A and B are shown apart, each in its own frame.
Chain A
Amino acid sequence: MQLARTYRISFLLLLIALLCSWLLNVSSGSVSIPFADVLSILFGKLPKITSWEYIIWDYRVPKAFTSILVGAGLSLSGLLMQTLFRNPLAGPFVLGISSGASLGAALLLMGTSLLTGYTSFAFLSNVSLAIAASIGSFLVLFVVMLVAQRVKDTMALLIIGLMFGSITSAIVSVLAYFSSAEDLQRFIFWSFGSVGNLSTDQLLLLGSIVVVGVLLSVRSIKSLNAFLLGENYAQSLGISLKKSRLIIIIATGLLAGGITAFAGPIAFVGLAVPHLTRQIFDTMEHKVLIPAVMLYGAILMLLCDTLAQLPNSASVLPINAITSLVGAPVVIWILVRKRKMIF
């Protein structure tokens, strides 16, 4: 009951870690800029080399903020899924939500030109890509929810999620087979995942989507806590099941779908971060977990993106590969150490 007090220091440390990893992220990249210069540019002073200012303000800072939005949002959506399905393995990826987003993106990037015969470049903006991916993820999420109401067994649900994953990747393969090389390349690059290349407008749009998702999650704190007891108990506590489920699903769909749309399908963050967070914040209270998970996710994403940049080299690794390389061993380590994922 005196939760807030005990976790105050942990939150403070996490905030400091977030600031540090943000600075680290901003100060590393293909062009080597001394840390002192990075700081002075950030504080609005004129740099020694004018191009540095552009690199920092127009490329690295937006990219760092995208990382924060992506990491925080995906982690939060993972937490929501794990509580809603009361399953430690739930996450945007496992339940097929990200596959749904991929399908939406694939249909838009490769399907439109196939069906209409025109290359879709003219009317294809990143906003329509975001909408298509969100619609895809929402569709899968709703189907999973429908199935969830029939099938009480959560293991069956996870398998169904995996099956959706294979169905969508099959459809994507078929689309890919018939698409032009350019369309295919666009889709492949999207599926590598990337937190760079977002314009300020896109960043603002992504930011608003994440903010709405977070607000809906905060509104759901009470019902999320009640869901920890199971749906029947939640109902007996006066929670309206249909309404709160719907709100949580919309929040997840917005977060996972919106982020996947702009940054591509980024693996493991949604699944792994809630578990990592529970290593430090040993509580199930969502009032604590929501901010903690978001901070954790943001830090992890910033660090992964810093790694993906390969400091001082021009190559950038796909962020999706890095998060999997970091995330998968962590989940294995937790499982081996704790023997079971306690949810």
Chain B
Amino acid sequence: MAKIDENIVSVKNLAIGYNSKTVAKGIDFNLHSGMLCGIVGINGIGKSTLLRTLGGFQPKLSGDILLNNQNLKEFTSSDLSKELSIVLTEQPASKNLTVQELIALGRQPYTNWLGTLTKYDKEQVQASLKAFLLEDLKHRKCHELSDGQLQRVLVARAMAQDTSIILLDEPTTHLDLYHKVQILKMLQELAHNKQRTILFTTHEIELAIQLCDRILILDGKDHPFGDPCTLIEQQHFDRLFPSEMVKFDAKTGTYKVSK
């Protein structure tokens, strides 16, 4: 693991988008080891595009992405799979996998050509099951799980992949408040206790303010980045939505409907 103050994810003047269409540009931020970072912004501003670009699923338009001080481009897909794991909004293609089987697939970057699990791999799978309170469910099929349980399984799989960076695309969608908080708190624990650098996109700005170490606001202009309190002081959350609809209350860190 890298030293605490070292940059694990470093993004400089990044522009993202598709061939001809720039979705967002001028994105700058640095994340240290063990940081939980939320990416917020209105629909269509480029949160998922940013995550896809960071994960190497689509090429950046310009700028630099450094993971552990190495340029993202220089990673082979098998090297990248040991540095970065993902949790997507898409459901796993086969829900006939058991919880344990699905999490064990997270060990693939380390297993031999047949995917045989070593004793160490099995320990890692067990640790992930335990960390996400899935031990009782480990023999269940994924189609038998609730949305909240399935999301925990997917995050546990990412944990089992044992990477310094974890990217999650809207991990809290479709969940009730309790399960939203549960999954975010588990992510926070994972970041702080296991020194993982975790980035996730979310619409739960109020929860992100309470739980994240850093927040990146995609606003289409200068993309403010910092710790939640500073961002509140600088009134960045106030400008996120049109004020005739919702107003940000800096004291409580929540949004109120404008009357």
B77 touches A229 (CB 8 A): no
Residues in chain A near residue B197, CB distance under 8 A: none
- Minimum CB–CB distance from A159 to chain B (whole Å) comes to 19
A selection of 21 A-B contacts at a CB cut-off of 8 Å is A1-B104, A219-B113, A221-B115, A222-B108, A222-B113, A222-B115, A226-B108, A228-B94, A229-B92, A229-B94, A229-B102, A230-B88, A232-B86, A233-B92, A236-B84, A238-B78, A238-B80, A240-B77, A283-B98, A284-B96, A343-B96
Which residues of B in the span 49-92 have a Cβ within 8 Å of any Cβ on A? 55, 57, 77-82, 84-86, 88, 90-92
| Contact assessment for B105 and A226 in the assembled complex, using a CB-CB cutoff below 8 Å | yes
B125 contacts the other chain (CB 8 A) = yes
B68 to chain A, nearest CB (A): 16
Apart from A222-B108, A229-B102: 10 A-B pairs, beta carbons within 8 A? A86-B93, A225-B115, A226-B105, A228-B93, A229-B93, A230-B91, A236-B84, A237-B108, A284-B96, A342-B95
In the bound complex, CA of A98 to CA of B228 (Å):
60
User: Which residues does chain B contribute within 8 Å of A237, judged by CB atoms?
Assistant: 81, 105-106, 108-109, 161
- Check B85 against A236 for contact (C-beta < 8 Å): yes
The 9 nearest A-B residue pairs measured at CB: A238-B81, A86-B93, A238-B78, A228-B94, A230-B93, A222-B115, A237-B108, A236-B86, A238-B109
Which residue of chain A lies nearest to B161 when distances are taken between CB atoms in the complex? A237
CB-CB under 8 A for A284 and B94, given A1-B117, A232-B57: yes
Query: Interface on A for B, CB 8 Å cutoff?
Result: 1, 83, 86, 219, 221-222, 225-230, 232-233, 235-240, 278, 283-285, 287, 342-343
Per the 8 Å Cβ criterion, residues 209-243 of B in contact with A are none
- Using CB atoms, name the residue of chain B closest to A241: B77
Residues of chain B contacted by A230 (CB below 8 angstroms): 88, 90-93
Residue of B nearest to A342 (CB): B96
Instruction: Report which residue of A237, A278, A283, A342 has the largest number of chain B beta carbons within 10 angstroms of its beta carbon.
Output: A237
Report the nearest A residue to B121, measured CB to CB. Answer: A1
Residues of the A chain whose Cβ atoms lie less than 8 Å from the Cβ of B86? 232-233, 236
Residues in A neighbouring B256, C-beta threshold 8 A:
none
| Contact, CB under 8 Å: B94 / A285 | no
Contacts of B94 on A, CB cut-off 8 Å? 83, 86, 228-229, 284, 343
Chain A residue with Cβ nearest B102 = A229
Residues of B within 8 Å of A219, CB to CB, are 113
Query: How far is A163 from B140 in the complex, measured between Cα atoms in Å?
Result: 38
* Total interface residues in chain B, CB < 8 Å: 39
- Residue of B96, B102, B106 with highest tally of chain A CB at under 10 A: B96
**In the complex with contacts A1-B117, A230-B90, A238-B80, A225-B95 CB distance below 8 A:** no
CB-based nearest B residue for A82: B94
- Minimum CB–CB distance from A143 to chain B (whole Å) comes to 22
What is the bound-complex CA distance between A83 and B96, given in angstroms?
A: 12
Q: A236 to B51, alpha carbons, bound, how many Å?
A: 13
Decide if B143 is an interface residue (CB 8 Å cutoff). Answer: yes
Nearest Cβ in chain A — how far from B55, in angstroms? 7
- Shortest Cβ distance from residue A222 to the other chain B in the assembled complex, whole angstroms: 4
B130 contacts partner chain A, Cβ-Cβ < 8 Å: no
User: Which chain A positions have C-beta within 8 A of B80?
Assistant: 236, 238
Contact B101 A342 (CB under 8 A): no
The interface residues of chain A lying within 8 Å CB-to-CB of B84 are 236
Provide the residues of chain B in CB contact with A287, threshold 8 Å. Answer: 114-115
* B100 interface contact, C-beta 8 A: yes
Judge whether B101 and A284 touch: CB under 8 Å.
yes
- Interface presence of B45 (CB below 8 A): no
Q: Is B12 an interface position by the 8 A CB rule?
A: no
> Which chain A residue has the least Cβ–Cβ distance from B100?
A1
Compute how far the CA of A238 lies from the CA of B85 in the bound complex, rounded to whole angstroms: 10
A216 CB, nearest partner CB in chain B, Å: 13
Give the Cβ gap from B156 to chain A, nearest Cβ, in Å: 13
Q: Which residue of B lies closest to A219 (CB)?
A: B113
* Contacting residues, chain B, for A235 (C-beta < 8 A): 57, 77
Chain B positions within 8 Å of A83 at CB level: 94
Asked whether B194 is an interface residue with its Cβ less than 8 Å from the other chain, the reply is no
Given contacts A1-B125, A228-B93, A233-B92, whether A239 and B57 have CB atoms under 8 Å apart is: no
**Min CB gap B30→A, angstroms:** 23
Give the nearest-CB partner of B82 in chain A: A238
